[in-house]
Structure 1
Amino acid sequence: MQADSAAAAPALRYRDEGEDYATLAASIDRAARRLLGCGLGRQERVAVYLDKRPETVHALFGASRAGGVFVPVNPLLKAEQVAHILRDCNVRILVTSADRLSALSPVLAGCPDLHTVLLLGRELSQEPGDAEVGHVRVDAWDVAPEHDGLRRHRVIDTDMAAILYTSGSTGRPKGVVLSHRNMVAGAQSVATYLENRPEDRLLAVLPFSFDYGLSQLTTAFHTGAQTVLLNYLLPRDVIRAVERYGITGLAAVPPLWIQLARLEWPEAARATLRYLTNSGGAMPKETLAALRERLPGTDCYLMYGLTEAFRSTYLPPEELDRRPGSMGRAIPNAEIQVVREDGTPCAPGEPGELVHRGALVAMGYWNDPERTAGRFRPAPGQPSGVPLPEVAVWSGDTVRMDEDGFLYFVGRRDEMIKTSGYRVSPNEVEEAVYATGLVAEAAALGVEHPDLGQAIVLAALPQAPGLSEDDLLNALRPHLPGFMLPAHVGLRTEPLPRNANGKIDRKALAEDFGDLFREGVPA
């Protein structure tokens, strides 16, 4: 669409190179023909295992244009994790680089459905198509398609478009299946409440395997805005990119915002940044306050989402002071319900499970009917005369809704801590810890305890050296009841571990503390 109406408008930028919408459309079309020439069948999966670069975008959207399904693989994943994804959704074609293929070679034998690997940035020593790794044909990405006349497979908006793998709280990552309708509806909804416009320049810092990161592309393309691709090493690189490229929109997760809030922002960066967004966890109040002080001309959007429904709520910037701690209200074209265990609606202020219905609800988990049935269930409150029930996402998150429709997060079902008969939200403990001003990063979690059921354990990175466990607990005592005080504080000298999407890796922390209270070790 943009290639027809705004062909010369800037679409994609990477370092010093750029593509307008006409060039981008031609590159995507060429990628589609390349994949079809490799025998891509209708709705077959194409995995893309690369860092952020133009070819990554071409391959993802080229697979979709060809009538296939794209599977973005986080570039931080290791060989065994990548192999799980390739096996799990029966990937047929993999687009990657030579160095990444070298790391993957030992595990490709366990991926029997994979028949072709297309490599970027390498001159093959053999004739194209002659190289092999085990049973897999290896070819170059940057060659002319052998058959320009190949027709794209016909798909409609309810067909699969992508599979995104989420780390999940336990076990292997699961693939969330998105339709073309899901992706278009999500882009339209986000662009509406962020008021995106063609002159916007969005900085893509999050991985495209993360729905929040992929959204930077889809929202920009829907609006006719420009996306700037960034593979950053340090938080300061993000600020430099905002300044260099005149970025107007920036999306990040709480651990990155915590770091960015501690840095100085030059005037040139402050002058262009129209808005920032947060998802992937609650932004600490102190971090939000610091960002608003450093970026007084920038609107801050706090959002809540889950990969199974892409995005659910947003808090308009003008409500930040009126509704502190709120996760906002339903995004356009979505309905958010708060229900009891029997599916009946909760009263205002009554905690219940968040249920999301509408066009953004995904198609389920790939090849996993059991987990799909547990999360994707009939929407509550449907008219009894409708023969086929509408499916909604039952989030597992406990929230409460005020009389104006604004929601407040209480806790996640699989993260809520049950200690001494009380249910404790890790988020509430973490907010109190950040409020002390003594720590830069914090994560509260429940660890098995012989007497308490679970004990609250806190992992924290001090703001400055010399902080002791007693210092932190003494600072918390005036603000938390006894049952919410951590039974153990693990002070770190390095940042807390991250998962592939940049969020704090609570599973890894739980493993670190798993034996803390066993065999009679006292709290």
Structure 2
Amino acid sequence: MTTERPWLAQYPAGVPAEIDVDEFPSIPAVLEQSIRQYGDRPAFTNMGKSLTYSEIDQLSRQFAAYLLGELKLKKGDRVAIMMPNCLQYPIATFGVLRAGLTVVNVNPMYTPRELKHQMVDSGASVILVLDNFAKTVQDVVADTPVRQVITTGLGDMLGFPKGAIVNFVLRNVKKMVPDYDIPSAVRFRDTLTLGRLHELPEISITHDDIAFLQYTGGTTGVAKGAMLTHRNLVANMQQAAAWVGSAVTPGKEVIVTALPLYHIFALTANGLVFMKFGAKNILITNPRDMPAFVKELKKEPFTAITGVNTLFNGLLNTPGFDQIDFSSLHTTLGGGMAVQRAVAERWKQVTGVTLIEAYGLTETSPAACINPMDLAEYNGAIGLPVPSTDACVKGEDGRQLAGGEVGELCIKGPQVMKGYWNRPEDTAASIDADGWLHTGDMAKMDEQGFFYIVDRKKDMILVSGFNVYPNEIEDVIAMMPGVLEVAAVGVPDDKSGEAVKLVIVKKDPGLTADQVKAHARANLTGYKQPKHVEFRDELPKTNVGKILRRELRDPGPA
């Protein structure tokens, strides 16, 4: 650890400089404490149905027993979970972890190409998928190591008759479940029944065991699995809990979870930290349906909400949001992408609560810096390093720079990942010999120890808080016979923060923007698809032929 930590003087009262990483050996140990303390309290609520901590205990044990007893999985095996926020998610995730296995979170919107890469790379032997996305699994499962597919309908945990109605409407009225045929698939509810037939053995889970393989592009285009150990997640839970603790009343919190739990921000902040506080997590399955989201928020007073800038902006621009009862709300945490000043100021005006900006990465489990919870007004900073965390700004030569100088933000602490799954070279490129994680973000630190992001070193595009890597987009578009050269860049976008813009040199003069967008739709998840396509005669390049993406970032025609 470095000796100078100017940020400690700015810590709010009661926040320790260090946390006890050894208090809990694993995530299940934290869960089990919450079950003992808050057994009868609702833990997760979705579509009006709640499960208590005791019910989560029982159901996750059944799922764990199924994985070990029926499927005979061995410690460290990978189980993929491909679903939006619904009650099955926490049951399955805690079940996998309690069985001593590793969760591989999968974005349910993935195309077959993206899913296949992740399944092959992770070596996942089981995948749990919502019916709506099972067709994608069907398309690639034969070419992956997956040997058991588990399927479930969105209504399956909602009880009768509600669950049956939800499933019927999704399949037959809204036509949101494409037909699929996976003959060997098992239903999620049946796995719970089968799990009851097996005793869940005592599993020794240690700090070094991998809890999650959380896929991210890191600083290059191919999605890589960040190995997040139980120590990493327990540490970040302890760090975030110590930070927000003064604002929280254990056993009384109600947190709105609109960001997907498969994303590291909601997974840790909502799913784990607030679980430690015995909170009730309100799971929003489709936050893009803003009118329905606002209707849900009117149902009961909530105390905390996390989100990305685009989510807060969307809520502020939805009729009826300003009529919600905000009297219980004390915490609004923004991360995943830069919070815009205009949005933060309007949020404070409408809700009376300061929008606190935080900063983190998949590789840091994710929280690295958070602003003080008692911050009176939005300040434009990403905050102070959380307890047991060091941060510094390094120059190109690897030297630590003085306050006020701009360089690459580097992080060191117990929440920094073990490395990238099966990619030692990538790990060595991102974590240096002294243990500093190089974030690829350009930053500066003021004399008080607050950090500010200035720009991104890498060419990553941030769409609604999701990382989009130009290399991946370019590889997909370059597959088109009519494309000679392509560059992908991010351009400012009012709705999503940034949008993908393609600049293409044609090989086929007849190539159209519509054809390019159709090809992208077939091969890329929604948020990775280009919003702008521009054709040019040539692309700007360096003297060694490297495309100069920064010269292409002017907003282009739609």
Q: Answer yes or no: same fold by TM over 0.5.
A: yes
Contact 2:243 2:373 (C-alpha < 8 Å) held by counterparts: no
Q: Give the whole-Å Cα distance in 2 for the aligned partners of 1:325 and 1:517.
A: 38
Q: Give the whole-Å Cα distance in 1 for the aligned partners of 2:540 and 2:452.
A: 39
Counterpart selection for 2:332 from 226, 251, 276: 276
Aligned to 2:277: 223
Task: Indicate whether 1:312 and 2:362 are aligned.
Answer: no
C-alpha distance after superposition, 1:315-335 (max 9, x if no partner): 2254464x8321111112211
Task: Indicate whether 1:290 and 2:331 are aligned.
Answer: no
Contact 1:67 1:152 (C-alpha < 8 Å) held by counterparts: no
Contact 1:164 1:211 (C-alpha < 8 Å) held by counterparts: yes
Query: What code does the residue aligned with 1:308 have?
Result: E
Q: Give the whole-Å Cα distance in 1 for the aligned partners of 2:217 and 2:109.
A: 13
| Structure 2 unaligned spans of 5+ | 1-32, 157-163, 165-179, 463-467, 475-486, 496-519, 542-550
Contact 2:127 2:150 (C-alpha < 8 Å) held by counterparts: yes
C-alpha distance after superposition, 1:455-491 (max 9, x if no partner): 99845459xxxxxxxxxxxxxxxxxxxxxxxxxxxxx
Q: Give the whole-Å Cα distance in 2 for the aligned partners of 1:317 and 1:281.
A: 19
Contact 2:307 2:333 (C-alpha < 8 Å) held by counterparts: yes
Counterpart selection for 1:88 from 121, 135, 140: 121
Aligned to 1:182: 232
Task: Indicate whether 1:30 and 2:80 are aligned.
Answer: no
Q: Give the whole-Å Cα distance in 1 for the aligned partners of 2:404 and 2:95.
A: 47
- Secondary structure of the equivalent of 2:400? coil
- Secondary structure of the equivalent of 1:394? strand
Q: Give the whole-Å Cα distance in 1 for the aligned partners of 2:66 and 2:321.
A: 43
- Secondary structure of the equivalent of 2:44? strand
Pairing of 1:140-219 with structure 2 (within 5 A): 140-143=187-190, 144-145=193-194, 147-149=197-199, 151-168=201-218, 170-195=220-245, 196-197=248-249, 198-215=251-268, 216-219=270-273
Aligned residues: 434
Q: Give the whole-Å Cα distance in 1 for the aligned partners of 2:360 and 2:65.
A: 34
- Secondary structure of the equivalent of 2:222? coil
C-alpha distance after superposition, 1:156-190 (max 9, x if no partner): 11210011112556533221111111111112222
Contact 2:336 2:359 (C-alpha < 8 Å) held by counterparts: yes
Counterpart selection for 1:371 from 426, 431, 442: 426
Q: Give the whole-Å Cα distance in 2 for the aligned partners of 1:245 and 1:176.
A: 37
Q: Give the whole-Å Cα distance in 2 for the aligned partners of 1:68 and 1:457.
A: 37
Q: Give the whole-Å Cα distance in 2 for the aligned partners of 1:508 and 1:12.
A: 36
C-alpha distance after superposition, 1:279-313 (max 9, x if no partner): 111111111111111111x2321111111011111
Task: Indicate whether 1:407 and 2:451 are aligned.
Answer: yes
Contact 2:344 2:354 (C-alpha < 8 Å) held by counterparts: no
Change (3 A) 1:337 1:519: closer
- Secondary structure of the equivalent of 2:252? coil
Q: Give the whole-Å Cα distance in 1 for the aligned partners of 2:385 and 2:408.
A: 15
Contact 1:246 1:269 (C-alpha < 8 Å) held by counterparts: yes
Counterpart selection for 2:97 from 41, 53, 64: 64
Aligned to 1:52: 85
Aligned to 1:330: 385
Q: Give the whole-Å Cα distance in 2 for the aligned partners of 1:455 and 1:50.
A: 28
Aligned to 1:107: 140
Change (3 A) 1:99 1:306: closer
Contact 1:60 1:71 (C-alpha < 8 Å) held by counterparts: no
Change (3 A) 1:152 1:35: farther
- Secondary structure of the equivalent of 2:317? coil
Task: Indicate whether 1:116 and 2:148 are aligned.
Answer: yes
Q: Give the whole-Å Cα distance in 2 for the aligned partners of 1:98 and 1:224.
A: 30
Pairing of 1:233-244 with structure 2 (within 5 A): 233-244=288-299
- Secondary structure of the equivalent of 2:332? strand
Q: Give the whole-Å Cα distance in 1 for the aligned partners of 2:490 and 2:367.
A: 30
Q: Give the whole-Å Cα distance in 2 for the aligned partners of 1:186 and 1:153.
A: 23
Contact 2:301 2:326 (C-alpha < 8 Å) held by counterparts: no
C-alpha distance after superposition, 1:191-237 (max 9, x if no partner): 22223332111111111221002121001111111111111232233
Query: What code does the residue aligned with 1:311 have?
Result: A
Contact 1:204 1:230 (C-alpha < 8 Å) held by counterparts: yes
Task: Indicate whether 1:259 and 2:292 are aligned.
Answer: no
How big is the alpha-carbon RMSD for the aligned residues of Structure 1 and Structure 2? Answer: 3.6
| Structure 1 unaligned spans of 5+ | 124-131, 380-390, 417-425, 428-442, 449-453, 463-496
1:137 Cα deviation from its structure 2 partner: 3.8
Change (3 A) 1:19 1:516: farther
Q: Give the whole-Å Cα distance in 1 for the aligned partners of 2:148 and 2:204.
A: 22
Aligned to 1:512: 533
Aligned to 1:387: none
- Secondary structure of the equivalent of 1:373? helix
Q: Give the whole-Å Cα distance in 2 for the aligned partners of 1:456 and 1:16.
A: 41
Structure holding more helix per residue: 2
Contact 1:98 1:120 (C-alpha < 8 Å) held by counterparts: yes
1:268 Cα deviation from its structure 2 partner: 3.7
C-alpha distance after superposition, 1:35-92 (max 9, x if no partner): 1121211100000112221112111110110010011211222222222211110001
Change (3 A) 1:29 1:456: closer
Query: What code does the residue aligned with 2:205 have?
Result: V
Query: What code does the residue aligned with 1:225 have?
Result: A
C-alpha distance after superposition, 1:92-123 (max 9, x if no partner): 11112344323321211110x21111222489
Q: Give the whole-Å Cα distance in 2 for the aligned partners of 1:219 and 1:257.
A: 21
Query: What code does the residue aligned with 2:414 have?
Result: A
Contact 1:253 1:502 (C-alpha < 8 Å) held by counterparts: no
- Secondary structure of the equivalent of 1:312? strand
Q: Give the whole-Å Cα distance in 1 for the aligned partners of 2:233 and 2:317.
A: 34
Q: Give the whole-Å Cα distance in 1 for the aligned partners of 2:295 and 2:244.
A: 23
- Secondary structure of the equivalent of 1:512? strand
1:266 Cα deviation from its structure 2 partner: 3.9
Pairing of 1:335-484 with structure 2 (within 5 A): 335-379=390-434, 391-415=435-459, 458-460=491-493
Task: Indicate whether 1:11 and 2:58 are aligned.
Answer: no
Query: What code does the residue aligned with 1:68 have?
Result: L
Query: What code does the residue aligned with 2:199 have?
Result: G
- Secondary structure of the equivalent of 2:314? helix
Q: Give the whole-Å Cα distance in 2 for the aligned partners of 1:331 and 1:409.
A: 16
1:354 Cα deviation from its structure 2 partner: 1.1
Change (3 A) 1:106 1:76: closer
Query: What code does the residue aligned with 1:145 have?
Result: L
Q: Which has the higher contact order (CA 8 A, sep 6+)?
A: 2
